Structures are given as C-alpha cells and as structure tokens.
C-alpha cells in the first residue's frame, strides 16, 4: 500500500539549476525522485538535501543504452515511474567568429537527442500502464530565431515541435506530455551572461511554476508570464516588424547599409 502511494519521478539535469530545484520541490510533496546528470558530486549533494527522497543516478543523456538502463534501474528500485522531466541541456552562444559545426552537433546531441533517448527509455512502461507524464524542458528561445542562439535555439524549437507531434499519439494512450518554456532563470547556465536578462527569475520561483504546471497537466508551462507574452507576440509578427523590434529589444545595431 505504501509503495502505491509513493509517486516516482525522474529528473534529468537534476544536479543543478531548474532540475535540482524541481527535484527538491517534488521531494517536499512526498515524491521519490531519481536525478540524473554527469557530475556525480552535484547529484549526491542534491540527494543529501532530501535524504531518502532524492536518489542519484549518474548518466550522460547522449548515451542511448545507458539512458534505457537507467530508466529500468529506477523502476526496479522504486516502482512504476509516473513522471519523467527531461530537463538536461546545454547552451553556448554562437558568434560568426566561433561558428563550428561541432558546437551545433553537441547541442543537438544533448538538448534534442538526449530528450529523445529519455522518451524511448520511458515509453514502454508508460504505454504498458496507460499512465504517466513526460515533461520536456525547452525554452522561449525556441519560439523564434533570437540573437546568438543559432546553436541552442533550433534544439529548443525542435523539442517544441516534437512535443506537439507526439501529443496526438500519446494522449490516445492515456499518457500526458508537456513542454516547459522558461525565459531567463538564474542558474549556472545563465550565471556567465554578460548582458541584461529581462524578467530574470529566481530558480525556486521557476521550479514552483513548473511544479504547479505539471500538477495541472498543462501542455505548455511557460514563464515568467510577461516575458512569454511579449515573445509570443513577437512570434506572430511578420519579419518586417520582428527583426527591427528584436534588434531594439536586444540592443543590436543594424549594419545594413541604409
């Protein structure tokens, strides 16, 4: 009876930032949370903050076989997985002076195919039980092409499209899928940014909104609200308006000869 009451979640990228804050939030609500990332020490440190509730499963999400084995290990230790938050990701800015195909490949491998690996790993158990929830962490940078995100943005756009596409088949099998699109959140990923980050959110607040969105089984969980609204308006604009507005917003001068 106890085992049935224990809801089991898996959070990738759970040793830092948004994943870590969400893992702690879920643990506070009584979930058993498996967290994965490459750096074992960060995973163990996070697990140590909620002993008995958070458990470390070191993993590189680009390793398809290892992702599958990890999902199986989590289930055999804790029981059926109810929630998989595929959040692991990387983000590097690209300028024309450092345009390297390897950077683009790495972003696709981790951000996009890493999530695909996670879906493949949890799909059999969710389908067998006609239950469960997959949450993909993308970004508002996936809405439209934004400055310097040429390697990062397309991976997030791909994730949004992936979630939309899969929803049609998953919902018929009783499986939920959600896409989380954060704006700027204060995490190790953004700590080195040397430009003003509009509407920057604290990581605990981001995790709180994400947690409630998951509980409400929203399809899109996007925050902070005002920034998302602005970018959704940008998304609808014709190019003749989008480019000048985004240039102004991002403080970029046009070198177009006018």
Ligand X SMILES: NC(=O)c1ccc[n+]([C@@H]2O[C@H](COP(=O)([O-])OP(=O)(O)OC[C@H]3O[C@@H](n4cnc5c(N)ncnc54)[C@H](OP(=O)(O)O)[C@@H]3O)[C@@H](O)[C@H]2O)c1
Residue with tokens 């991002």: 250
- Check if the beta carbon of residue 168 is closer than 8 Å to that of residue 177: no
Q: Tell whether residue 159 is a contact of ligand X (CB under 6 A).
A: no
- Check if the beta carbon of residue 7 is closer than 8 Å to that of residue 31: yes
Is 152 marked active-site? yes
CB-based burial, 112-143: b 16+ in 10 Å, e otherwise: bbbbbbbbebbbebbeeeeebbbbbbbbbbbb
With CB under 6 A as the contact rule, the residue among 184, 211, 223, 227 that binds ligand X is 184
- Map the footprint of ligand X across residues 69-128, applying CB under 6 A: 87-91, 110, 114
Contacting range for ligand X; rule: CB under 6 A; set: 36-44, 70-78, 215-223, 226-234:
36-44
**CB 53 to ligand X: min, Å:** 18
Instruction: Provide φ and ψ at 43, rounded to 5°.
Output: -65, -45
Cα atoms in the Cβ-side hemisphere of radius 13 Å centred on 158: 16
**CB 4 to ligand X: min, Å:** 30
With CB under 6 A as the contact rule, the residue among 23, 42, 56, 222 that binds ligand X is 42
Q: Estimate the crossing angle of helix 64-78 against helix 114-129, to 10 degrees.
A: 40
With CB under 6 A as the contact rule, the residue among 61, 85, 149, 151 that binds ligand X is 61
List the Cα angle 157/22/122 in 5-degree steps.
65
**CB 172 to ligand X: min, Å:** 28
With CB under 6 A as the contact rule, the residue among 149, 187, 211, 224 that binds ligand X is 187
**CB 72 to ligand X: min, Å:** 17
End-to-end CA, the chain: 72
- Check if the beta carbon of residue 37 is closer than 8 Å to that of residue 43: yes
Q: Tell whether residue 68 is a contact of ligand X (CB under 6 A).
A: no
Distance (Å, rounded) from C-alpha 219 to C-alpha 135?
A: 9
Q: Tell whether residue 16 is a contact of ligand X (CB under 6 A).
A: yes
Q: Tell whether residue 190 is a contact of ligand X (CB under 6 A).
A: yes
Q: Which residue is nearest to ligand X (CB)?
A: 17
Q: Which residues are catalytic?
A: 152
> Residues in the site for ligand X, rule: CB under 6 A?
12-13, 15-19, 37-39, 42, 59-62, 87-91, 110, 114, 137, 139, 182, 184-185, 187-190
């Amino acid at each position: 009876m106890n085992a049935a009451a224990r809801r089991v979640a898996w959070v990738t990228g759970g040793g830092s930032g948004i994943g870590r804050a969400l893992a702690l939030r879920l643990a506070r609500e009584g979930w058993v949370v498996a967290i994965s990332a490459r750096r074992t020490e960060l995973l163990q440190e996070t697990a140590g903050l909620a002993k008995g509730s958070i458990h470390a499963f070191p993993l590189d999400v680009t390793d398809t076989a290892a992702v599958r084995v990890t999902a199986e290990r989590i289930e055999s230790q804790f029981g059926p997985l109810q929630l998989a938050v595929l959040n692991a990701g990387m983000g590097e800015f690209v300028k024309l002076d450092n345009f390297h195909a390897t950077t683009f490949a790495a972003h696709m491998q981790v951000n996009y195919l890493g999530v695909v690996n996670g879906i493949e790993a949890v799909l059999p158990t969710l389908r067998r039980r006609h239950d469960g929830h997959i949450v993909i962490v993308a970004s508002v940078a996936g809405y439209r092409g934004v400055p310097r995100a040429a390697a990062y943005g397309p991976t997030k756009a791909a994730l949004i499209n992936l979630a939309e596409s899969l929803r049609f088949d998953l919902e018929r099998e009783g499986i939920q899928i959600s896409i989380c699109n954060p704006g700027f959140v204060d995490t190790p990923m953004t700590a080195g940014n040397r430009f003003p980050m509009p509407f920057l959110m604290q990581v605990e607040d981001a995790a709180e909104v994400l947690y409630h969105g998951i509980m409400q089984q929203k399809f899109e969980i996007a925050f902070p609200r005002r920034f998302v609204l602005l970018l959704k308006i940008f998304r609808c604009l014709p190019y003749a308006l989008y480019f000048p507005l985004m240039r102004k917003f991002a403080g970029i001068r046009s070198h177009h000869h006018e």
